[in-house]
Amino acid sequence: MEKQYNYVTKLDIKYDHLQLVDIPKLVAECTDKWFNQTLTKVNDSVVRLGIVEGEYHWHKHDNDDEFFFVLDGQLQIDLEDQTIELNPDQGVTIPKGVLHRPRAPKKTIMLMVETAAIQPTGD
């Protein structure tokens, strides 16, 4: 049985190719503390919007790298031996198989790029 988390994760693709992606509109409409929306598909990958505040759980992706890029706020990504702090206009790729926990001390807007097959809550 899959564990349930208090996150809103929308895996449907919100914007087709050639359709304008409107981040400020999505941010203004969001009322959730931890929200992910798949924006578009690019080849075998997807671009997701994260509007987050608080902590995610520790997890890893056995077969998928994951890229985080902060637009606004601050994202801290805990690893087993360090914490990576991302501020606006900063990003990092977490390699597959690396245990990590994202957290946001304040409301944070970020983009994530990952394979379309990734399980967001981890393997």
Q: What is the CATH number of domain 8-115?
A: 2.60.120.10
Closest CA to 67 of 82, 77, 56, 55: 77
What is the reported pLDDT for 22? 97
Q: Hunting for tokens 């080849």 — which residue is that?
A: 43
What is the reported pLDDT for 2? 46
Q: What is the pLDDT along the chain (123 residues), one digit of tens a residue?
A: 345 678 999 999 999 999 999 999 999 999 999 999 999 999 999 999 999 999 999 999 999 999 999 999 999 999 999 999 999 999 999 999 999 999 999 999 999 999 999 988 888
HEC readout, the chain: CCCCCCCEEECCCCCCCCCCCCHHHHHHHCCCCEEEEEEEEECCEEEEEEEEEEECCCECCCCCCEEEEEEECCEEEECCCCEEEECCCCEEEECCCCCEEEEEEEEEEEEEEEECCCCCCCC
